[in-house]
Structure 1
Amino acid sequence: MPQSPARLTSDDPDSPDARACLRAYFALLADRIPGIDPTHVPDPDPEAASFRAPHGTFLVARAGATILGCVSLKTVEPGLGEVKRLWVAPESRGQGLGRRLMIEVEDFARSIGLTQLRLDTNSALTEALALYAKTGWEPTAPFTRAFPATDWFAKRL
């Protein structure tokens, strides 16, 4: 799989680029998961503060001025973080960008002392499920309400 030329940077979760990523992410969810609306999470995101340093991050992938993807992380409790909202633009899929975003967010988690991560996803997001399976994430017990999550994962760092 070719390496994506994207540049990954930490953005403020309320920045225009971060908000554009989230709109695209929720549009994807609405397209793939029955019962989800593109406005599933209000804009601006009410959880934005949890994705700011020093206890979180919101990573945006870009090629020049073009937004290609994002992922975010928040600290849940000491040692435990939650990965949220991994999204890769359709034109950038299959180039390793999702893997790069996950590696970067895991590295950030380690740098702030997190030793375990968790995430939830939906079975309609088959690319995400495949990525998690290939990169050491293990199924775990549900930790969020069921809808829209259908699958829960954890990873020791």
Structure 2
Amino acid sequence: MTIAFESPDQPDVIALIADLDVYQDTLYPPESRHALDLASLKLPNVLFAVARDVEGHAIGCGAIVLHSDFGELKRMYVSPRGRGQGVAKKLMSQLESRARDVGCKLIKLETGPYQHEALALYESTGYERRGPFGDYANDPLSVFMQKRIAT
């Protein structure tokens, strides 16, 4: 498996993101989903990483949107065929490392309460629950977390 910072505007990555959207559509109503679209993922303040299997197929992705005082983890997803191999942890590690390299000290995220595997992953990698941030409202279908990545 390899992880690299790539453009999200590639057919296999677009398909991966579409799979994530379909999955989240089964869990949450539209007003409780806060996904970035493809154009937003291509902005210069976004770090976008792709995990690929040994055959070069996209099996995971994630992004960090860099703001002036924190980064926001977005679009973390590993396809079913890539799960159980540590792909998500490796993606997060690469994203956090690159964010730290550009001066980011704090990562925040919003996820949903029905994504038990994601919550377990975030907690196991040092993320702690917090209240809403930025433009997010308090929503029973949102879980907010953060992690300091630099002192």
Give the TM-score of the pair, scaled to structure 1.
Answer: 0.82
1:35 maps to amino acid? P
Matched residue, 2:24: 29
Do the aligned partners of residues 71 and 149 (structure 1) sit closer, same or farther apart at CA in structure 2, a change above 3 Å counting?
Answer: farther
Q: Distance in 2 between matches of 1:148 and 1:105?
A: 28
User: Deviating runs (4+, > 6 A) in structure 1?
Assistant: none
TM-aligned CA distance change 1:110 to 1:45, over 3 Å: same
Deviation at 1:80, TM superposition (A): 1.0
Q: Deviations over 1:59-118 (max 9, x none)?
A: 1111123211000111121x4111101000112212111111111110011011100110
Distance in 1 of aligned mates of 2:145 and 2:127? 6
Aligned length in residues: 145
Answer yes or no: is the 8 Å Cα contact 1:36–1:148 preserved in 2.
Answer: no
1:152 lines up with 2:144 in the alignment: yes
* Cα pair distance change 1:56/1:146, threshold 3 Å: same
Aligned match of 1:95: 85
Separation of aligned partners in 2, 1:129 and 1:147: 16
- Residue 17 of structure 1 is aligned with which of 9, 12, 28? 12
Which residue among 49, 67, 72 is the counterpart of 2:63?
72
The change in CA–CA distance for 1:107 and 1:149 in structure 2 (over 3 A counts) is farther
Q: Does 1:133 align with 2:123?
A: yes
Aligned-partner Cα distance in 2 for 1:36–1:109: 29
One of 124, 133, 140 as aligned partner of 2:114 = 124
Counterpart of 2:38?
Answer: 45
Q: Which residue of 2 aligns with 1:62?
A: 52
**With structure 2 as the length reference, what TM-score do the two structures score?**
0.85
Report the secondary structure of 1:120's partner residue. Answer: strand
Q: Is this contact kept in 2: 1:9–1:61, CA < 8 A?
A: yes
Alpha-carbon distance in 2 for matches of 1:117, 1:58: 15
Q: 1:27 to 1:106 in 2, by over 3 A?
A: same
Deviations 1:127-148 (A, max 9, x none): 0000011110011111213568
The 1-side partners of 2:101 and 2:141 are apart by 28
Report what 1:84 is aligned to. Answer: 74
Q: Find the counterpart in structure 2 of residue 112 from structure 1.
A: 102
Structure 2: tracts of 5 or more residues without a match: none
CA RMSD of aligned residues (A): 2.4
Stretch of structure 1 that moved more, 146-155 or 79-88 = 146-155
